[in-house]
Structures are given as C-alpha cells and as structure tokens.
Homo-oligomer: A and B are copies of this chain.
Amino acid sequence: MDLTNYITQTARAAKDAYFLLSTASTTQKNHVLSLIANGIVANSKSILEANQRDMECAYEKGLDTSLLERLKLTEKNIQTMAEGVLQVMALADPVGEMGEFRTLPSGITLGKMRVPLGVIGMIYESRPNVTLDAAILCLKSGNSCVLRGGSEAINSNKAIATVITTALQEAKLPETAVSLITETDRAGVDVLLQLPQFIDVIIPRGGKGLVQRVNEKARIPVIKHLDGICHVYIDADADAVMAVNIAMNAKTSRYGTCNTMETLLVHQSRAAELLPILQQQYADKGVELRGCSKTKQILQDKVCAATEADWSTEYLAPILAIKVVLDINDAIDHINYYGSHHTDSIVTNNYVNSQLFLRAVDSSSVMVNASTRFADGFEYGLGAEIGISTDKIHVRGPVGLQGLTSQKWIVLGHGEVRV
C-alpha cells in the first residue's frame, strides 16, 4: 500500500470509529482509560526498552541534547503518565451536556448539546508522552485521533499505542479510535493535512517551525499555538512589593515556557522607584536587561539598549525587555501591537484601570495582580491540556476537554411546523 493510501485509510478508519465513540457512555470511556493506566504501568518495561532504542538511534544521529531530553522516558515518567490518565478519568465528561434552553414564540424549545469535534489529527515532535496525553484527552471527549509523532520517537510511540489498542479491544471500543501513523515519511503529514472529509481539526504541537508548516499546508482548521510574548504592566497605582514579586516570578520561575514574561512595562511615575530594585534582583538571577531610552536613563550601564526587534521577540531565555510607558493606554497599545495575544497582566490597585486592561487587552489570558505563569491547563483546573491556542476562533488559551468539543443546537418540539 502506498503512503497516500495508507494515511487515507487510517484517517477513514478513525472517522468510522468516531461515530461509535461519540455516543459511548462515560462509564465505557472511563473503563478504557483505567485499562490504559494499568497497561502503561504493566508494560513499562517494553515501553522503556523501545524508548532506549529511540535514544540510541537519536544519539547515533547526533541529535542535540535538548531533543534527547524531550525524547527520554524514565520509570518516573511512566508513573506520571499513568497518574495523568487517572486525572483525566476523574474529570467530568463534557459530551452530551445540555443547556441554554429556552422556549420560542413558535412553541419549540431550543437548547444546545456539547458534542465531540470528530477526528483530531495530532502532529507533534519528539516527546513520546504526547502520544498518551493526546489519546486520553481525545477518548474522554469522544473524539477519534490520528497521531503523527516524530520519527525519532517511533519505537516509544508504537509501544504506547500498543497499550492503547489493547485497552480499546478489551473495552470493546473500536480500536481505530486511536491510530498511530507508523510511516514517518514527511510526505505523510502533507497527505494528512489534505483530508477534510475525515479529519476535523489539526493540532500541531512543537516548535514554531512545525506549527507554521502545518498551518500553511492544512486544508483543515488548525488549533495552533505560536509565540508567547507575554507582558507584565506595572501601573501607577501598583503595590510596590506585589509588583516586584510578580515581575520576578513571571520572568524567572522558568525561562523556556510560553507563559513567561518577555517584556516588562512600567508606568513612568514608578520607573525611578522600581527599576533599580528590579535590576538588582534580576542581576542576582543572571537575567540580562534590554531597556528603552528612559530605562537606560535610570539604570545607566546596568541595562543594554533595546532595539525595535526586542519588543516582538520571544526570548525563552534569561533576557528581559523593559519599557517605560506614559500611561495605561500606552501600555495597552504596546501589548496589542507587539504582543502575541497569549497572556498579559497588570499590577494595579486602581479599579478603573483593572477593568480597562481586562477589556482592552486582546489576549487569550488577561490578568490583574497575578503572574503570567498561571496561564496553563493544570493551573486553570482543566486537568490537562492538549495545547495552548493563540488563535481567536473556537478556543483561546489552554485547550482541555471542552476545547475538544463543539455545541450543536437541539430542538424539542411537539409537532411544530413553520408558518
């Protein structure tokens, strides 16, 4: 069978499975999740052996250290993965949930029912745990999935997929509800992206390059996550201690995450007071500062000069851009223009400014007096996330079970016809 045919048949089989899975009861779905949790632990030896083969291959190919780190599985990872399955099992099933009922002048009662999206195409890179995370979130939300992981993780992914398939068989659910694509030829991704008749949504997970490639080629809606250029704005009325705490936490608690602050905005009336304190603390953490001209006036040679490019750079590193702004409107304009519409926070005790910021900042998460680092599926109580969306349509921010569903209209009538 050629590649196009193989991918098409896999997607078709996932669509067929979807119609059964979409009406499966919560009990059935939780049953298969519990079998998967047990299966992952029971088969940890074969999963780790498969992962070891992937690691050896990757090492021989001279792949870089950060990729090797993402690829590696340990006994502890297996345990965490199994616990993750149980956590999703414990979440409320969003499918079939009804609401928003009202009776209309014609006599019909109109409401909405939450339903799965259909078949999710996941395209991801080296982390083998994505195979499991994606499969269980899709199963719980009644979606089939076609999983296309990176070639470097193929043995680990196959071992995990075997556990899932066995569990689906044992639970008497269609085994093609979770299908791993085992042909890792890159051309296969392009085929997958052109099958709107079988795949309803594509979710790419990985570096910006992958996401952009997928988005350009897809003939199917893509839920995508691009940059995280997050801001903290310290307002005129900010509490000084809170402002410093949040600015430090948002930058330094982790450097490589998408919800890390990349630019700090400070109201001009607070710059002279707060910037020296912040500079001292950032210096202690080894964070390089790049400031606007007013920041440079205050911090002198303790800060480099920021260029225009700094305002739209996701450093993912111990580097921070700092800008002194005229007022809250200047801050909001800067965020909406240079930001990536991910997560932005204001520190203020002023009610009017807090409301204006919440309303006017065009980002998937907008915060008052909290660290941007909270923008995360677990912190938001979603239980797990399949990704974070920087899009505006369908779903914004962390995508959990509800983001994998849609709503249909339901009409309860008594024989009404339209006049």
Is A416 an interface position by the 8 A CB rule?
yes
- Bound-complex Cα distance A239 to B406 (A): 32
A23 surroundings in chain B (CB, below 8 A): 356, 359-360
Q: Does A374 contact B (CB under 8 A)?
A: yes
Q: Do the beta carbons of A370 and B19 come within 8 Å of each other?
A: no
* Residue A245 lies at the interface, judged by CB distance under 8 Å to chain B: yes
User: Taking the full assembly, how many copies of this chain does it contain?
Assistant: 2
Question: In the complex the two chains form, is A418's CB within 8 Å of B371's CB?
Answer: yes
A229 to B363, CA, bound (A): 38
Question: A161-203 CB contact bits vs B (8 Å, 1 = yes)?
Answer: 0000000000000000000000000000000000000001100
- The answer to whether A411 and B365 touch (CB under 8 A), given A253-B417, A392-B118, A406-B393, is yes
- CA gap between A339 and B303 in the complex, in Å: 63
- Output the nearest chain B residue to A417 by Cβ-Cβ distance: B249
Q: In whole Å, how far is A294's beta carbon from the nearest beta carbon of chain B? A: 24
Which residues of B lie under 8 Å from residue A362 when comparing CB positions? 19, 22, 115, 118, 408
Which one of A366, A380, A416 has the greatest number of beta carbons of chain B within 10 Å? Answer: A416
A291 at the interface (CB under 8 A from B): no
Majority DSSP secondary structure for residues of A touching B: mixed
Q: Quick check: A359 and B418 within 8 Å, CB to CB?
A: no
Query: Which residues on B sit within 8 Å (CB–CB) of A371?
Result: 413, 416-418
Q: Check if A96 sits within 8 Å of B380, measured CB to CB.
A: no
Tell me whether B393 and A201 are in contact (CB under 8 A): yes
Question: A370-B415, A418-B374 are contacts. A409–B365 as well, Cβ < 8 Å?
Answer: yes
Chain A contributes a number of interface residues (CB within 8 A of B) equal to 70
- Cβ–Cβ contact A379 & B104, under 8 A: yes
> A357: shortest Cβ distance to chain B, in Å?
10
Mask of A391-403 contacts with B, CB within 8 angstroms, 1/0? 1111011100000
User: What are 19 inter-chain pairs, A to B, with CB distance below 8 A?
Assistant: A23-B359, A104-B381, A108-B374, A113-B359, A113-B366, A115-B362, A118-B392, A250-B417, A253-B417, A345-B413, A358-B410, A370-B411, A370-B412, A374-B411, A393-B393, A394-B394, A396-B407, A396-B409, A398-B409
Which residues does A use to contact B, with CB under 8 Å? Answer: 19, 22-23, 96, 102, 104, 106, 108, 110, 113, 115, 117-118, 200-201, 216, 219, 221, 223, 239, 242, 245-246, 248-250, 253, 333, 336, 345, 356, 358-360, 362-371, 373-375, 379-381, 391-394, 396-398, 406-418
The 5 A-B pairs with the shortest beta carbon distances in the complex, nearest first, are A370-B413, A249-B417, A367-B411, A373-B418, A242-B415
6 other A-B residue contacts (CB within 8 Å) besides A22-B362, A394-B406: A23-B359, A216-B219, A250-B417, A366-B410, A367-B413, A396-B406
